[in-house]
Structure 1
Amino acid sequence: MTDPRPSVPSRHPLTASGSVELAVLERSGWDESRHLGAGVVVDADGHELRRVGDADATIYPRSCLKPLQALTMLRSGVSLDGPQAVLATASHAGTRAHLDVVEALLGRSGSTEDDLLCPPDWPGDRASAREVSAKRRLAMNCSGKHASFLLACAENGWDPSTYVATDHPLQAAVRETVAEFTGETVDHAGVDGCGAPVIATTVVGLARAIARITGSVRPTGTGRDEHAAHLVEAVLGDAWAIDGPGRANTVTIDELGVLAKLGAEGVMVMGTTDGVAVAVKVLDGNVRAGTLVALRLLVDEGAVDAAAADRVIERTLEKVTGGEGLAGRIPLGGGLHR
């Protein structure tokens, strides 16, 4: 799929001049907001099918990096099945069902909630948030990933108290996975909102990584990885765990059978089991357009059924409200029109 020797990207950020109009928020017949950004669709061999904007720009994938982090945990010898595998790659809503899985992961390594190095937070699910009286590390949307980090430390004899340090062997293993699957040299990492390192990639490198992961479900194919296939099959089987009932990623996975993963600051990735994948970065960091734009790009390349995608968009796209009714809509921007 990609050259085994990672390339060295020409590092530059995504800018307004390197962006195209991805979506517009119209209110009462007037354009109220415009979301600029970049996106790219690649096939199972990493070849570009379409790009909009500067897909060579370097971004922080944020939680779109989680599939690569979870894959690293599996490769390190950790056994993860069903919802436990999904929670390792999730940005979960903090429901009781999610927390039960995270607690089970912690129990396997002999850890407790206090051993998690993610910050305390409220559950993202509103009903669940009303049932608690204080922020908890367990409720933080990345707690499943952090619990899997602790499990990898227990499995490999690594120090569990410093697992988010950039020089920790666990993070070194993540860097190796990212370099392999993106085909890019890892030369910069920041600190994610959960406290773990977040490795910088190009938009196109991120798409290629997701294409290889989801394409591994095929019985044969270039770059097939058994651990990646296991992870994708777990996500497709328990989509509730990666996000939450009624939430965008869960609805997309359940209705379309594609892996969907949202990242903070307007990042979105999706990948089909045929290995076609899309990565999108919204320049202003707003997440409202991610599902809309990613699905439209996949539809345009024939990777997803248009009518089925429309149904998902109708269920998940933010409503432009005015009082108790609708006052507008969010159509695609001019940069996506062919």
Structure 2
Amino acid sequence: MTETFAVQDSAELAVVERGGFVESRHAGSAVVLAPSGEVITRLGDPDALILPRSSLKPLQAVAVVTAGAALEGERLALATASHAGTDRHAAVVRDMLGAVGLTEDHLACPASWPTDVATRDAMVREHLEPAAIRHNCSGKHAAMLSACVATGWSTEGYLDETHPLQVHIREVVERLTGEKIAATVIDGCGAPVHALTLTGLARGIHRVGTSSERSPFALHRVAGALVRTVREHPWTIDGPGRSDTFAIERFGVFSKLGAEGVQVMVAPDGTTVALKTLDGSLRAAPLVALHLLANAGALTASDVADAAAHPMFAVQGGGRDVGRIRATV
């Protein structure tokens, strides 16, 4: 069986403190690349295979545009999002589908409630049902469908591993990461997700995050536009007060989480982090990534320390803050 790194190959990345008592520890692996792409930090076993989950979306988004999807601005940003399912997110996804003559019925991701609590509560009050357009991956799926329409590929079975779109995405992922895909499984949204090393994922994200819109190569022009657009519209990729949106707004990084504890982040100078917490928890991942970028000199340590005071990293007891999640890297 193909599997990720083991407990004994992990490094401690963060702890959870409650009233001065270290209650939990998050172990995992991480790798940091310099702006040049050189590996400068290794923790745990970053050469072991992982499933990038939604941290693969930036590479998938580049692939769907090079396959023909005509996406710009907020629509392009939604192609790489794990969005909160707000009305604003859903409206952009509907626009993406409508632009190519499709509707929500063409989405093959599961019907879901929004992860944004206020939006979910409003839907419940209005007696609405979960919907595919509210799934956090609906932007990615709309982008995939857009590419199929533009290229003349069937929209039926667009998630099948042998569909021309998925074949193209696989080729682009291999090109950007410099690795051959080790295994392909089904992600939570129903799309294929490819096993890579953490180092390979970091290289792919570094190439996306440092690409120029003035490059002579279309792949890099698309990547440059994607990163610029996400930085211009940080609400798209996640949601108000949520970790990726917070990191982008606060530090100008390009940030993308993935399920099961995966996080990638590119600083404005090109320094890149990729990490996975072995227990699959995401609660410490963005903070660890920010600390690793600060350790590399890409972010100011005092600014990262201030960000660590954000409520998302607080530990609650009796309705008040009684501790913190603390990076130990």
Q: Which bin holds the TM-score, normalised by the shorter protein?
A: over 0.9
Worse-superposed segment, 19-28 or 235-244: 19-28
- The aligned residue for residue 56 of structure 2 is 65
Query: Which one of the candidate residues 153, 157, 160 is aligned to 2:155?
Result: 160
- The aligned residue for residue 266 of structure 1 is 261
Deviations 1:133-171 (A, max 9, x none): 311000000000000111000001111010100001111
Write out aligned runs for 1:74-153 (5 A): 74-132=65-123, 133-153=128-148
Deviations 1:26-56 (A, max 9, x none): 1123221111000000124431011111000
Give yes or no for the alignment of 1:248 onto 2:243: yes
Provide the rounded CA distance (Å) in 1 between the counterparts of 2:98 and 2:216: 37
* Structure 2 CA distance for partners of 1:163 and 1:223, relative to 1, 3 Å: closer
5+ unaligned residues in a row in structure 2: which ranges? none
TM-score under structure 2 length normalisation: 0.94
5+ unaligned residues in a row in structure 1: which ranges? 1-10
* Structure 2 CA distance for partners of 1:212 and 1:273, relative to 1, 3 Å: farther
Worse-superposed segment, 146-155 or 245-254: 245-254
Count of residue pairs brought into register by the alignment: 324
- The aligned residue for residue 6 of structure 1 is none
Over the residues paired in the alignment, what is the CA RMSD in angstroms?
A: 1.8
Does the Cα contact within 8 Å between 1:218 and 1:274 map onto a contact in 2?
A: no
TM-score under structure 1 length normalisation: 0.92
Does the Cα contact within 8 Å between 2:26 and 2:277 map onto a contact in 1?
A: yes
Quote how far apart the aligned CAs of 1:218 are: 8.0
Give yes or no for the alignment of 1:325 onto 2:316: no
Write out aligned runs for 1:10-29 (5 A): 13-29=4-20
- The aligned residue for residue 37 of structure 2 is 46
Deviations 1:205-234 (A, max 9, x none): 111111111111486799981110010011
Provide the rounded CA distance (Å) in 1 between the counterparts of 2:306 and 2:252: 14
Could you tell me which amino acid in structure 2 is paired with residue 261 of structure 1? K
Quote how far apart the aligned CAs of 1:274 are: 2.8
Quote how far apart the aligned CAs of 1:74 are: 1.3
Provide the rounded CA distance (Å) in 1 between the counterparts of 2:306 and 2:231: 18
Write out aligned runs for 1:253-332 (5 A): 253-315=248-310, 317-332=312-327
Deviations 1:68-103 (A, max 9, x none): 010001111222111100100000011111000000
* Secondary structure in 2 matching 1:206: helix
Provide the rounded CA distance (Å) in 2 between the counterparts of 1:208 and 1:75: 19
Does the Cα contact within 8 Å between 1:215 and 1:224 map onto a contact in 2?
A: no
Does the Cα contact within 8 Å between 2:66 and 2:219 map onto a contact in 1?
A: no
Ranges of 4+ aligned residues in structure 1 off by more than 3 Å: 217-224
Give yes or no for the alignment of 1:186 onto 2:193: no
Could you tell me which amino acid in structure 2 is paired with residue 129 of structure 1? R
Give yes or no for the alignment of 1:171 onto 2:166: yes
